[in-house]
Amino acid sequence: MVTTDASQVRVDVHLTPDTLAAALAADVRAGLGAAPKELPPKWFYDDRGSELFDAITRLPEYYPTRAERAVLMARAGTIAAETRADTLVELGSGTSEKTRLLLDALTEAGSLRRFSPFDVSEATLRGAAAAISDEYGVTVHAVVGDFERHLDRLPTGGRRLVAFLGGTIGNLAPPARAAFLAELAEGLGPDDAFLLGTDLVKDRDRLEAAYDDDAGVTAAFNRNVLHVINDALAADFVPERFDHVARWDPDAAWIEMRLRSREAHRVQIDGIGMTVGFGAGEEVRTEISAKFTRPRVEQELGAVGLTVREWWTDPAGDFGVSLATPS
Ligand code: SAH
Ligand code: TRP
């Protein structure tokens, strides 16, 4: 489905409210029917979830956004010079706030013609698309979709720089990550490039604090998935009956986010005719956020035929940004 807001902004919608509800129903049925229980992370991001994530990016404990911004501030000019991209594609674009540094540099280099943000969250995407069209006077071709299902809907042609920032790749479990990277690489032409932001392995205290802040914003974000299920599937979750848990798993090299039921209780999900029982202390896994090392990034990109041409970190070495091209 295509809608055109204004001459400069095109929005392709591959996820309508109906298809979203059907996909959520399938995920809830499978995930809450399994042992241990699990919910996939893309459901955090309704309008309220997107706002809460935006608040997370400004928390003192949440260093990834500031660290990645520092890398982009230092390197955007080099990225523009090396890629000479005419199209900037951004996966999981959210508000595209840091992306403005890339848009500025590509504008200055004189190569930018088109910006293509891609996200599951339609309202956030439309807001960012309109603002960037206004400010940059660039053609915006936005895509509402799931980057695990709709990568083939990205605009083609020209020299594309595909950016995937924020460490969002770490929210995919290893098999899903490998599948995502294979599909992405498959769609890249010889003149395209891939810019990837990855949070890096560091000490447990800082990692766990980044996902369990004192103000409780991350806890509210985690519980928001229950509000999403209540709204979309007529469920009667009381989110406050669940505690937010964030735990670093050093063997898997990921932070695991869970919702832990405070007491034994049942939840009715009318929209899919399901009753779910929770035991006292029972946990639902809602998110992983994998942390990387440079060799790991080089290996995973290499496995799909992408060569890392540049590797940059912020001065503290907290966050890595790599620029890769098809070999
Ligand atoms: N890039 C921004 C936002 C990161 S938050 C930043 O660096 O700050 C992750 C973003 O990815 C959210 O905007 C969320 O809506 C989007 N997202 C999560 N899962 C997705 C999926 N499967 N397909 C498309 N977008 C997704
Ligand atoms: N991509 C972000 C990350 O992994 C998403 C995120 C930040 C997140 N804080 C969260 C997801 C808390 C779930 C819960 O850092």
Asked if pLDDT for residue 195 goes beyond 80, the answer is yes
Closest C-alpha among 307, 98, 100 to residue 193: 307
Ligand 1 near 27 CB (within 6 A): no
In this prediction, residue 2 carries a pLDDT of: 54
Q: For residue range 263-280, what is the model confidence (pLDDT) as tens digits?
A: 999 999 999 999 999 999
pLDDT band at 46 (very low <50, low <70, confident <90, very high): confident
Atom 16 of ligand 1 has which residue's CA nearest to it? 92
The rounded Å distance from CA 119 to ligand 1 centre is 6
Is 162 exposed, middle or buried, given 0-12, 13-18 or 19+ CB atoms closer than 10 A? buried
pLDDT band at 316 (very low <50, low <70, confident <90, very high): very high
Which residues are within 8 A (CB) of 195 and not within 5 positions of it... i.e. 6 or more apart?
79, 102, 161, 162, 163, 164, 165, 321, 322, 323, 324
Atom 8 of ligand 1 has which residue's CA nearest to it? 166
Question: What letters, b where the CB count within 10 A reaches 16 and e where it falls short, cover 65-86?
Answer: bebbbbbbeebbeebbebbebb
Ligand 2 near 65 CB (within 6 A): no
Asked if pLDDT for residue 6 goes beyond 90, the answer is no
Asked if pLDDT for residue 4 goes beyond 90, the answer is no
Is 299 exposed, middle or buried, given 0-12, 13-18 or 19+ CB atoms closer than 10 A? exposed
Q: Which of 20-29, 52-61, 252-261, 304-313 has the lowest mean pLDDT?
A: 20-29
Asked if pLDDT for residue 16 goes beyond 90, the answer is no
Mean pLDDT value across residues 249-256? 98
> Which atom of ligand 2 has the smallest separation from the CA of 218?
12
Mutating to test ligand 1, I would choose from 20, 24, 42, 144 the residue with most ligand atoms within 8 A of its C-beta, which is: 42
pLDDT band at 44 (very low <50, low <70, confident <90, very high): confident
